[in-house]
């Protein structure tokens, strides 16, 4: 099928490349000429494992292209996906739908023949109705249907999530639109991916409900971690104990510094605002958002406490800046609040991240950036693991201890064993587990 993907950002580029790999003819359209020219040169603007190879392959085989001319490609498309940004609107927290609405106007002017217009962007309930109204106003004669098809892509695993999804949600009550969407996703039939066809508003709400629930699981286990520290329990064992219950499940029960990224913070806030507008407040989600914001700042205080109560004049080494591994995304990353707290307390912060430093430099200009983990630790008064990149999971601890001015490790992702760190002579602080203090008689 001929597909136009409006927006060549994270969702649009991943979705477009995967649809092309299914055999569809896809053009990703974006208003940013520099981005489009870079994509034509094979330069991928985001870090996502496997995406560069997927894009290169499908461009070479003629199924994937990039353009700034929306009208030309919408005119000949059978399905047009809207995959533009919906950031939190400054001032009130609602999703900013200005890009979606503009895309709808531009699409309307270019429609020719029956076309399915699909909102892939994460949008509040009722957005599909507004998109349909905009298009009707611009082109009363147009033959089209508006469908909701929310994405459920995890950064760092987006290609796998797209090609082997837990479910595909399609919001439409139009039989022709359902047939088109079924044909687009037909290559996934062999994987037996569940296809849930529901109303448009239900599909829109499903996306927000899913993200809010996952954010709630993360926040729940983080609060249990705090309780574990007070009562002498181990949060990892608690998480394992409850996660083995099939009704709960083990995923998203890893205690840490709080959630961040492009989805959970803005989507929980947008859901809260939508619920307030409809006089059906979601109190649990409100608490989740508030607790998560507080937690990020609390992690900075945790580091200060591990350094004896003061970091003034000290150098603190941070390993990991992105909100999670296998992405370069710094949006709402816990590291932002942690660095701010440490700098406000008088610390000098040095950091290393395998992929996120270019973006981080624009957000954290006073941080010193290192070339690797060991250079980051050299002469530092404490080492903090903020993001659980694989390369941080098997550090040469002897070399690391020798590099540090003081053998203090604050592990906000619980990737090391406390007993092992104690044997190696570290003062080791983790999340929701008993701390261990350096034994001066032990060697590394």
- Which sequence positions are flagged as catalytic? 263
| Cα(153)–Cα(10) distance, integer angstroms | 10
28's CB contacts (< 8 A; 6+ apart) are 5, 7, 8, 12, 13, 16, 39, 64, 65, 66, 67
Burial letters for 400-432: b for 16+ Cβ neighbours within 10 Å, e otherwise?
bbebbebbbbbbbbbebebeebbebbbbbbbbb
Q: Where are the alpha helices (DSSP H) in 116-174?
A: 127-138, 158-163
Please check whether residue 409 is in contact with residue 376, taking contact to mean a CB–CB distance below 8 angstroms: no
CA dihedral 86, 329, 168, 51 (to 10 degrees): 120
Residue owning tokens 């816990």: 334
Assign 301 to helix, strand or coil: helix
Torsion sign, CA atoms 421, 426, 429, 434: positive
Give one word for 62, left, alpha or beta, with left for phi > 0 and alpha for psi -120 to 50: left
**3-state SS, residue 205:** helix
Q: Which helix (H) or strand (E) holds 116?
A: strand 115-119
Closest CA to 111 of 153, 77, 87: 77
Report the alpha-carbon angle 130-75-78, nearest 5: 75
Tokens, residue 137: 């106003």
Q: What is the dihedral of CA 281, 152, 359, 91, to 10 degrees?
A: -20
- For the beta sheet containing 79-82, the strands, ordered from the edge strand earlier in sequence to the opposite edge, are 64-67, 25-29, 2-6, 79-82, 115-119, 144-148, 168-171, 195-198
Q: How many helices and strands, by DSSP H and E, does the chain display?
A: 17, 14
CA count, 13 A, side-chain hemisphere, 344: 10
Q: DSSP code of 169? A: E
């Amino acid at each position: 099928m001929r597909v136009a993907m409006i927006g060549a950002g994270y969702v649009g580029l991943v979705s477009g490349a995967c649809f092309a790999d299914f055999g569809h003819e896809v053009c990703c359209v974006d208003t940013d000429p520099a981005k489009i020219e870079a994509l034509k040169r094979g330069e991928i603007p985001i870090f996502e494992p496997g995406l560069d190879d997927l894009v290169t392959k499908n461009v070479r085989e003629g199924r994937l292209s990039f353009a700034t001319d929306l009208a030309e490609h919408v005119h000949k498309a059978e399905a047009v996906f809207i995959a533009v940004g919906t950031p939190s609107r400054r001032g009130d927290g609602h999703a900013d739908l200005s890009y979606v609405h503009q895309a709808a106007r531009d699409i309307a002017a270019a429609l020719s023949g029956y076309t399915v217009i699909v909102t892939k962007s994460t949008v509040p309930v009722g957005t599909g109705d507004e998109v349909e109204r905009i298009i009707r106003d611009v082109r009363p004669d147009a033959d089209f249907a508006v469908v909701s098809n929310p994405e459920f892509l995890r950064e760092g695993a987006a290609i796998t999530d797209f090609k082997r999804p837990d479910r595909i949600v399609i919001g439409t009550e139009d039989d022709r639109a359902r047939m088109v969407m079924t044909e687009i996703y037909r290559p996934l039939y062999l994987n037996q991916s569940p296809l849930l066809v529901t109303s448009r508003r239900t599909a829109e709400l499903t996306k927000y409900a899913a993200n809010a629930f996952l954010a709630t699981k993360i926040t729940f286990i983080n609060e249990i971690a705090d309780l574990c520290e007070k009562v002498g329990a181990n949060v990892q064992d608690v998480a394992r104990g409850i996660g083995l219950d099939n009704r709960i499940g083990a995923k998203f029960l890893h205690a840490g510094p709080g959630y961040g990224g492009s989805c959970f913070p803005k989507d929980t806030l947008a859901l809260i605002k939508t619920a307030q507008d409809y006089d059906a407040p979601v109190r649990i989600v409100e608490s989740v958002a508030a607790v998560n914001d507080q937690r990020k700042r609390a992690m900075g205080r945790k580091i200060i406490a591990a350094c004896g109560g003061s970091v003034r004049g000290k150098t603190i080494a941070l390993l990991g800046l992105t909100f999670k591994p296998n992405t370069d995304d710094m949006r709402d990353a816990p590291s932002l609040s942690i660095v701010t707290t440490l700098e406000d307390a008088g610390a000098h912060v040095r950091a290393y991240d395998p992929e996120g430093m270019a973006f981080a430099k624009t957000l954290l200009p006073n941080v010193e950036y290192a070339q690797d983990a060991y250079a980051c630790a050299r002469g530092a008064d404490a080492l903090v693991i903020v993001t659980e990149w694989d390369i941080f999971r098997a550090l040469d601890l002897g070399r690391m201890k020798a590099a540090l001015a003081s053998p203090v490790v604050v592990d906000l992702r619980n990737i090391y064993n406390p007993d092992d760190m104690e044997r190696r002579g570290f003062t080791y602080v983790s999340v929701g587990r008993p701390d261990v203090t350096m034994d001066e008689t032990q060697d590394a």
